[in-house]
Structure formats: C-alpha cells, structure tokens
Structure 1
C-alpha cells in the first residue's frame, strides 16, 4: 500500500503540542505516527489523502501553536526495514512484559515476551496508551475469560491477554493492514485462540465478552460505547485508552449513560487508560 507522509513543523514545538497535534490528525484519518527532533511525522494511505485534509479548521485555527506541513509519497516497501532503522525500539513494561521485533536480538529476559512485526499498524508499546493498556492487562486475572480487542492494531493486547490465560480473544480492526498484521503477529507468537476480523463495532453482533480493550480515538469511543456496553456480560469490564486526562469526564459521563460504572484509571504523560464495569 502506498502511504503519504506529512512532516509537521510546530511553532512553538513542545511535547504537549505534539500530543495535541497527533490526536487531531488521528481524528482526520492519519493512522501511524513517529517523531524526529524537528517534526511529527503522520502517515495516511495515499488513497485517503487530499491536501484539503491539512486545511482543517482544527489544524489551522489552533490557538496554542502554528503548524507547517511538508508532504511526501512513500511507495509500498519493506516496512520492517523502515521500523527497524527508525522507529521501533524494544520496550519492557512493568519489568514483566518485553515487546520486541523479530530483528531485536540483544534483549532482557521477561515473564512475557511478545514479538511484534509492526509494519504500519499502531501498537508497538512505545506510545503511552499502549503502554498503559499493557500495564492494565498485567494486573488482571484473565483465566477463562472471553476477551475483545477492539481496534486491535498489531494485535498486541489480544496476544498478551491470551498469554495471561484468556479462553478466547476476538480482535477487530477497520484497517486491512492491521487485520493482516494481527494475524501475522498471532502466528509469530504461537497464539491459536485469537479470531481476527476486518470491520468496526457494528460487526460485534450478539457475542458477549467478559473483558473489552479499546485503545481508540476519543470520538470513536464516544460513538461506539453503547455498542460495547451491549455486548458486555454481567460484571464485565472495559478498559479504554486513546484520550487525554482532560477528556476523562466526557468519557466517564458517556460510560455511565450506557450503564457502566467507573473503576479507576491510570495516567501516563497526560494520556489515560480508564476502567469501567457493568
């Protein structure tokens, strides 16, 4: 698949401004991000990109910063080599879960080791939200549970849930790259109880789950929370991330509206993973 890379030059450039810009561009359809010393790099399938996207009011009229864009078409290529050279570094979460790529060899031993062939899918653990979700999974008892990994990306959350004892895992993503990548990563990690589907929340049907993970953009969470609640078993739990601390009251209000009770949250660099129970 051919991608378009948009290099974003911010003024003033700061960590929080980069996080805000990343969230805004995610809502505009950009599905992968990286950073350099000077830029935020956002990636989107070329078939979904037009220059008009960069003229969005949310980008042009932000009172906190100005942003200048530079675009470049990236032809289909060996994304493993791209990630190996530039983006994906081994990560140890809570000193218990090591996330690495097949090309990482000099890594520490850990209780859980997940090998991720990332390609262009989100979810290597290097982003705060994925880290928070992994940390939450490490604290759960998943023995015999029916688990949903919604917006699965690389499949990393579903894979860890399986390693932690989940009976079955259903992984769903709207992106075909993510769908294929989850299948590949499940095979790499010898996970056989994950069923992967290409689609959105409307694909869930009547199947019920004990645990749901949804690391997705804020607006999608707000839109799909009623569907998530409808497929949760009694006393089931959902852990959601992909939003900032200041968004938590809005997420919590919607969750309570559909019958879910808040059960705590974790925060990392202003990103949040929040837990709710039915």
Structure 2
C-alpha cells in the first residue's frame, strides 16, 4: 500500500499543534524538518480537501505552506532502522533503539523506540535538555515532565535516581509510547498520563520540572510550573529559538525564578532556572 507524504513549512511554534491536528486526521507518523514537519498517511485514508481546511484554521495566526507527494510502498521499519543512529550526550548518555547493542562506556544507556513520538535525542532541544539534566542531582527527587513525547527525559531522570517521575502528553499515542519506553528501560517510578498541565494536582510539589515544548506554551505555563516547584526547585525548558530566550527569561523572572544555565545549539536554546 502506498503512502502520502505531506510536507508542511511553518513556524516551529506551531509544529506540535499541527502534528496533533494531523494525527486526528489519521496521519500515522511525523518527522521534524528544518522547515517544519513531514507527515505520513496511507493513501486510501488521505483526504486532500482536509488540508486547506486545516491550514485556513490557522491562517490568521501563522503562515503555512505545504506540498503533497505520493510514496511507493516500502518497508518503513527497515527504512527507519537504517537511518536511526544512536545519540551520545556529553559522553555520559547514549540513546539507542532496541535493535542496537548497548555500549558499556556510557553511564546511562537509554532505549527509545519512538514510533510517532518526538524525542529520540536527535533534535537539538532534546539533547540540550538531557545535557542540562546531567548537571542536576536527581537522587530521591520528585520530577514532573511536561509534554513527555517518547518519555526520554523522564527515563533519564529515573536512571539518575529520581524517586518518582510524573510525565504527561496530550497525545494518546505519545502516552502509550512513553509507557512502553519506560518499561523497556525498567523505570517503574515513571508514571505517564494523557492530559495537560491543568490536569496536574495543583497542590503537588516537584523538585525538578522539565518542559521541552515551544515558546507560546512556555510563556503561558511558566507561572504554573513555578507554583508546582518546591523552594529552590529547578525548572529546565527548551523548544524555542535563541531569539525567543529573552521572553522566556522575562516570564521566568516575573514568576520568581533565577536563571542558572543557558545552552545554545544551532540557534535552539535551553534554559535552567532556580526558584528563589
């Protein structure tokens, strides 16, 4: 059976939103690109009229361009396996798929089978989030992972000694994937649910909050993350470009957070804060 490839060129702030919308339309897998995202759906399920309707829905918010291609039938698992290489972070973390052998040189060995979810470590924001985590003491800590995707950040937190990790995502397939990956990595202290930050118990307290999302969500939710942090708790964020960092820092400062570290790779940025 042939597949349809939909290539979307859009602002990174809207990548997650459009991915969620396309998943509702039956698209099965997604690949982030430098220009946006490519989405894939089997040819019989493709509705050409649905794409202009979806783009029109966001026309007054952002510019979106698209292109549709028909792809010949192929072994997608074989294609994915051939192109998926292990990722190494700061000489301490190695992220691999289950078909790769482990490497004893690395302190943390993480197995991630991403399916449709983002967060394999290949994207700069995910790698920077993990590098930031390596500078923290997770031993016995309570951790919140916002928009968990594959669960990679939650799994690293667990492997670094976190006592309990609560992770969530709005997408059902991401939640299932994160649960599977937590089990693959023998991390029973990771709990994953489907929902948003509004579904987290407001009386809960976490010593570390991880949020790799996008600029708009972060600006809206940083005050909530701060309220969930213990005194001297730490917040780590990414998912935005370097030119957006000032806005993130300002919102964090207004919420009572102090900047403690900044990482930048290929114009993407990650910031960590301490609750004063």
CA separation in 2, counterparts of 1:164 and 1:255? 26
Corresponding residue for residue 50 of structure 1? 51
Are 2:27 and 1:29 aligned? Answer: no
Aligned residues: 255
Shift of 1:193: 0.5
Paired position in structure 2 for 1:199: 195
Report the CA distance shift for 1:110/1:74 in structure 2 as closer, same or farther (over 3 A). farther
What are the equivalent positions in structure 2 for 1:118-197 lying under 5 Å apart?
118-197=114-193
Cα deviation, 1:125-160, whole Å, max 9, x if unaligned, reads 000000000111112111111111111110000101
Q: How does 1:6-85 map to 2 (within 5 A)?
A: 6-8=6-8, 21=10, 23-26=12-15, 28-30=17-19, 32-35=30-33, 41-43=37-39, 50-54=51-55, 56=59, 58-59=62-63, 69-70=67-68, 80-81=77-78, 83-85=80-82
TM-score (norm 1): 0.81
CA-to-aligned-CA distance 1:78-115 (integer Å, 9 cap, x gap): 975553244x3211111111100012238673111100
The counterpart of 1:214, out of the listed 197, 211, 224, is 211
Structure 1 equivalent of residue 25 of structure 2: none
Rate the CA distance shift 1:51–1:231 in 2: closer, same or farther, 3 A.
same
Q: 3-state DSSP class of the match of 1:195?
A: strand
- In the alignment, the residues of structure 2 paired with residue 120 and residue 85 of structure 1 have an alpha-carbon distance, to the nearest angstrom, of 17
The answer for the alignment partner of 1:93 in structure 2 is 89
The structural deviation recorded for 1:25 is: 4.2
TM-score normalised to structure 2 length:
0.82
**Aligned with 2:224 (options 206, 212, 227):** 227
Cα 1:194–1:52 change in 2 (3 A) is same
Q: CA separation of 1:68/1:176 partners in 2, compared to 1, >3 Å: closer, same or farther?
A: closer
What RMSD over aligned residues (CA atoms) do the two structures have, in Å?
A: 3.0
Q: How big is each residue's C-alpha offset from its partner over 1:3-28, in whole Å with a ceiling of 9 and x where there is no partner?
A: 974225x7xxxxxxxxxx46054154
